[in-house]
Amino acid sequence: MDLHLSCPTRVVAGRLLRYLSFLALSLLLMPAFAASSAIPSPAAPRVPDTLQQRIAACTACHGAHGEGSPGSGFFPRLAGKPAGYLVRQLQDFQNGLRKYAPMEYTVRGLDPAYLREIAEYFSTQQVPYARSPLPAVSAATLQRGAQLVSTGDPARGIPACERCHGSQLTGVEPDIPGLVGLPYDYISAQLGAWRTRTRGTVAPDCMAEVAGRLSETDITAVAAWLAGRELPADMHAQPAGSVQPPLHCGVLAGNGAGT
């Protein structure tokens, strides 16, 4: 009788031997795995449920009190702006009327009550204004900017900025924001966005209508003049009804407005 195993039999025997070796090793290591799983994992740090914690995504760019970032020129001041205006801007980001990916993502899942809470918090913040860098523009450019802000350009159907944003350009309650104290880069970028319809709001969109009548040089002039204007002693928004806007704007029906 041939006691040597055939080739297939030797393969099977080898596999069986490896399996038994693996099983024995598993049985030896099982107590160690059981002991390690019994060690509790460190508790996750508890995040306080406060408004300041929940608006951390806002303050990371706009400052601890919504003072903006004058050094960058692109993160605007939120502090002291009318709550109705701030709510409308958050809603416009949610609805795709205003474009900026980080803001669209941040507000996407927030409910109306939360948006109102955020807006009212920043509207009550009163912090000093800081000057931003100004571009080198000619005296003629600044003169054109002053004209557009104070009297507009009736021949081209451009109303004065003061007619909506108030005689001191500090805004009007509850929906129109102030223009003074904003960085040049921010003002010019927003007017350009209105002009190209990459920023919008509820119809009728009067800012898109006005900005569409401005030339590129007009936008430079307005932004430079506003950014360089001396700040009034009282930076609060003017009371509701203190101006009679020359245009019928959808945002003036209690929904928020403006640049």
List Cα–Cα distances, 252 to 73, 117, 176, in angstroms.
27, 21, 8
Whole-number Å distance between alpha carbons of 252 and 245: 9
Rounded to the nearest integer, the mean pLDDT of the chain is: 85
Q: What is the pLDDT of residues 27-59, one digit of tens each?
A: 544 555 455 555 666 777 777 778 888 899 999
Domains (ranges, CATH) in the chain? 51-252 (1.10.760.10)
Per-residue pLDDT at 225 exceeds 60:
yes
pLDDT for the residue numbered 21: 58
Please name which of 61, 254, 80, 84 lies closest in space to residue 180, comparing C-alpha atoms.
Answer: 80
pTM (predicted TM-score): 0.77
Q: What is the pLDDT of residues 235-244, one digit of tens each?
A: 999 999 999 8
Higher-confidence residue of 241 and 26: namely 241
Start-to-end CA distance of the chain, whole Å, equals 100
| Alpha carbon 210 to chain centroid, angstroms | 23
Answer whether 93's CB lies under 8 Å from 107's CB: yes
Q: What is the pLDDT of residues 159-189, one digit of tens each?
A: 999 999 999 999 999 999 999 999 999 999 9
Higher-confidence residue of 129 and 255: namely 129
Amino acid at 45: P
What percent of the chain has pLDDT above 90? 66
Band (138; pLDDT cuts 50, 70, 90):
very high
What percent of the chain has pLDDT above 70? 81
Whole-number Å distance between alpha carbons of 253 and 197: 21
Band (255; pLDDT cuts 50, 70, 90):
very low
pLDDT for the residue numbered 153: 97
